[in-house]
Amino acid sequence: METEHLKVEHDGLTFDVKLSGPARGPWVVLLHGFPVDSRCWDDVVPRLHEAGLRTVTFDQRGYSPGARPEHVEDYRLEKLVGDVLGVLGHLNIAYSMIVGHDWGGIVAWHLAAKHPERFTGLVAVSTGHPSAMKEALEAGSDQRERSSYISTFVKPKAEQLLTEDNGVRLTRHGVTPEEVAPLLEPGALTGPLNWYRANFTGDIAATLACPPVEIPTTMVWSDGDTALGREQAEFSGRHVYGDYRFSVIEGIDHWVPQKAAKAVASEISLRSALY
């Protein structure tokens, strides 16, 4: 199907947006995570179209070349949430399903919890509800060790460290050379890293605090994920007060949209059908 490429203005920034799928299909918004852009959904999107769904993907703050503010505080979570609402408002999309992976999952949880009137359902991939993450950290699980990489990401020289030798530290952890290439451009990695600097320093618990979710929700977790453990995913059900499904994908690492596109698309389609 033909893909429509748009430039959407919001908060003084310009976002690169792609629309595609059946003209009258229900909308699904897909949010990418770190450090990849919206192309991570490229193998998921056609499968959603086959299921009759219409998709919105966009390169978020720090990823779209026209949306790279220089100050760390411009990447606070409320800004990231506001970007999604701003893009949807520009597109006149009143209702949609919301899907997010990794950092996109954190944004999606907050959107679903704080703006339930805007979303028909949530599919969170890999990243559990922020309260479930807090519980996993307090439960004596290995999640604190799994999250130890964040201390590197918030350092001033993280860009230099992660782009050395053509981004070998990223490729060692499963990011493909094709996904790394855009990040090697001067200044391209600063915005994505500022998501961590703005939200994983200071009073992190207060920054990430999220109400319970009352819309239908699916939590998708892969058992090969080295960054996000089972507890933070499984505990998410405690913070969903509507229909809830927990789905485990076996044998897949953290990069679920790219490596398990069929399974992810199936879960999104099922959640849409249950609405």
The CATH number that applies at residue 215 is 3.40.50.1820
Q: In what order do the strands lie in the sheet with 27-31?
A: 4-10, 13-20, 54-58, 27-31, 96-101, 119-125, 217-222, 244-249
Please tell me the pTM assigned to this model.
Answer: 0.97
Residue 140: pLDDT band with limits 50, 70, 90: confident
- pLDDT at residue 275 in the model: 61
Q: Residue 197: give the domain boundaries.
A: 4-274
- pLDDT at residue 167 in the model: 94
In the chain, pLDDT over 90 holds for what percent of residues? Answer: 97
In sequence order, the β-bridge partners of residue 186 are: none
Torsion of CA 204, 206, 208, 212, to 10 degrees: 150
How many independent structural domains does the chain possess? 1
In the three-class reduction of DSSP (H, G, I as helix; E, B as strand; rest coil), residue 16 is classed as strand
pLDDT in tens, 39-51: 999 999 999 999 9
pLDDT in tens, 208-242: 999 999 999 999 999 999 999 999 999 999 999 99
